[in-house]
Amino acid sequence: MASRPPVLFVSPVAWDGLPQRHQALAAGLARRGFAVTYLDPLQGGGFGLTAAQAAAGRLIRLQVRVPFRATGWPGLQAIAVRLAGDLLRRAGALTPHHLVWAGEPSLAGLFGAPPHATPTNQTGSPSSRNPALIHPATGEPSPLGPGAARRRAAGGDAPLVEAEAAPILSAPARRRDPRLVVYDRCDRHGAFPGQRAIVWQRYERWWFERAHLVVATCPALLPTPADTSARCLLLPNAARPRRNGRASGAPRPAPPPWRLLSAGAHYEWTDLPWLERLAGLPQVELHLAGPGRGPLFARLRRAPAVRDHGILPPAALDDLMATCHLGLISFLDLPLTRAVDPLKAYEYKMHDLFVWATGPAGLREHPCVDLVSAPGADPAADWATVRAHLARPATAPDSAPAPAPAGSPQAGERGRRRRVPSWDDRLDRLVQELEVLGC
C-alpha cells in the first residue's frame, strides 16, 4: 500500500459546529492513518492563521482569517481565496503532496487558476465512456461503473448504495497539478436562499475540472459525464454512534403524550406549518432540537404543545431521542431538498424511532424513512396510520418491512430494525476508493 498523503480537508462547517458529515469523515480519515488538517470556513476581518489539535490529537484544526469574504461575487472571492491559499502554503498545509478534500465549493481557486468566467468543458466527450452505461436522471452515459449499472437495469436497490467508480480520464486541469483532489458534493449548491445559481455553478465547475474523485450523498448529486471525467462514488450519510447508555429496545415513556421530535436546522426549506399542525393534534408533544429562524419558527415555538430545546450537544440529543416516540423530517418540496440525504433519518433510526417525513417524493425511497406524507397534506389524515404502526411490536433486526397497501404512503413496520449504516461503514468504502487513486 502506498504511504498515506496528508489531507487538507476544506469544510463548509466549523469543527466545533453542529456535528455533520464533514467532521465524521475527517475524523474517520485521521483514524485510518491520514494526517488530516481540517480547515474551518474562512473568517473575515483580518489576516492570519491559527492551528489547534482536535479529535484526540489525530487531527489539526486550522482557522484562517482574510480581509473579506465574498462568495456571491466570484472576482472578489478569488482574491480572498488566493490570500487564504498563500497562508496555507506558508503553513505547509497546501503542498503538491497534499490530498485536497473539498466540501466547500466557494474555495475554488485555492490552488491553480481562479474559476473561469464562462462555462468550459475540458473533461472530454461523454462518448469516451461506455455507451451502455446510462445515467438514470439525464439519459447520458453514466459516471457509475458497470456493477451499479447492472443493478439498476435489473431493478436492484440502486438508491443510497455505494457505487462503483468509472475509470480515470485525464483532464487538462488535473494534468497541470500533481495533487489529488476529492470533491464532496453534499448539497445542491446555488439553491440555498440568497445564492445565485450561476455563481455556484462556476465554483463547482472549477472543482469538477480538477477532481480525481467526486463523492455524492445521493443520486441526484452525481455529476454527468459532461460535468467531469473524475471517478464518481455514491457515499450517503450515516449515523454516528450513540453517546448514551440506553440499551436498544429499552422501554420509552408510555404515551400519552406522544413525544414527536424534529431535530436539525429549521430554516427556509422546512415545512413549519406542517409541524405546527402536528403540534395541534390531541395528546401530542412536539420537541424541537436545533436552530431556527423567521416568524413562522417564532410562532411555532410559542405553541402550547411545543418544547424548544435549542441546539443540543450530541449526548444531550441522544438523551432526548431516547425519550421520544417518533422522529420527523419536515421538508418543503424544493430543488434544494430533492437533493438531500437527511442525516437525521439515520440518527432517528439508530435510536429505533419511527421516521415520519413530508416533502419530496424521493424520500419514499430512503431506507430509514417509514412514512412520507404528501406536501401540503393535513398530518391528521396520516396520524391514525402512524399511531397504528407505533402500537405494533418492534420487528427483529434486518427484517423486511411489510409492504404498504397500494396507493398509500410508504409505511414500514413499527420499529423497522434494519441495520443502520455507520460512518465506519462509509469510511471503509471511501478508503478503498482512495487506495485505487494511490493513497
* 214-224: pLDDT as tens digits: 999 999 999 99
Contacts of 282 (CB under 8 A, 6+ apart): none
Mean pLDDT of 394-420: 46
Contacts of 344 (CB under 8 A, 6+ apart): 263, 264, 327, 329
Radius of gyration of the CA atoms of the chain, in A: 22
Mean predicted lDDT score pLDDT of the chain: 81
DSSP state of 167: P
Mean pLDDT of 136-149: 36
CA neighbor of 47 nearest in space, from 90, 11, 17? 90
**Beta carbons of 135 and 141 less than 8 angstroms apart:** yes
Strands (E), 196-317: 213-216, 231-234, 258-263, 284-289, 306-308
Instruction: Give bridge partners of residue 329 from the DSSP assignment.
Output: 357
What is the Cα–Cα distance from 9 to 61, expressed in whole angstroms?
9
Q: Which of 28-37, 119-128, 385-394 has the highest mean pLDDT?
A: 28-37
**Is residue 125's pLDDT more than 70?**
no
> The dihedral of CA 202, 203, 209, 213: what is its sign?
negative
Question: How do residues 153-166 score in pLDDT, each as one tens digit?
Answer: 333 333 333 333 33
Q: Of the given ranges (149-153, 186-190, 201-205, 311-315), which has the lowest mean pLDDT?
A: 149-153
The pLDDT-based confidence of 113 (bands split at 50, 70, 90) is: confident
Write out the three cell numbers for 160: 443510497
Q: What is the pLDDT of residue 190?
A: 84
Q: Is the pTM of this model over 0.85?
A: no
Question: How do residues 289-347 score in pLDDT, each as one tens digit?
Answer: 999 999 999 999 999 999 999 999 989 999 999 999 999 999 999 999 999 999 999 99
* Domain boundaries, given as residue ranges, for the chain: 7-114+175-235, 258-391
Q: What is the DSSP string of 300-357?
A: HHTSTTEEE--S--HHHHHHHHTT-SEEEEEB---TTGGG---HHHHHHHHTT-EEEE
CA neighbor of 289 nearest in space, from 256, 257, 324? 324
For 411, the 3-state DSSP assignment is strand
**Is residue 142's pLDDT more than 70?**
no
Q: What is the pLDDT of residue 241?
A: 80
**Is residue 21's pLDDT more than 90?**
yes
Q: What is the pLDDT of residue 56?
A: 65
Q: What is the pLDDT of residue 141?
A: 37
Question: How do residues 246-291 score in pLDDT, each as one tens digit?
Answer: 544 567 888 889 999 999 999 999 999 999 999 999 999 999 999 9
H or E, element range at 175: helix 172-175
Contacts of 429 (CB under 8 A, 6+ apart): 162, 233, 235
CATH 3.40.50.2000 for domain 258-391: yes
277, with CB counted inside 10 A (0-12, 13-18, 19+), is middle
What is the Cα–Cα distance from 132 to 195, expressed in whole angstroms?
37
Q: What is the CATH number of domain 7-114+175-235?
A: 3.40.50.2000
Write out the three cell numbers for 6: 496528508
**Beta carbons of 327 and 344 less than 8 angstroms apart:** yes
Question: Sheet holding 371-373: strands in order across?
Answer: 306-308, 284-289, 258-263, 326-330, 354-358, 371-373
Topology alike, domains 7-114+175-235 and 258-391? yes
**Helices (H) and strands (E) in the chain — how many of each?**
11, 15
What is the Cα–Cα distance from 300 to 288, expressed in whole angstroms?
10
Q: What is the pLDDT of residue 417?
A: 55
What is the Cα–Cα distance from 223 to 183, expressed in whole angstroms?
11
Nearest 5°: phi and psi at 301? -60, -25
Percentage with pLDDT > 70 across the chain: 77
**Beta carbons of 158 and 148 less than 8 angstroms apart:** yes
Q: Of the given ranges (11-25, 48-62, 315-329, 336-350), which has the lowest mean pLDDT?
A: 48-62
Write out the three cell numbers for 186: 453534499
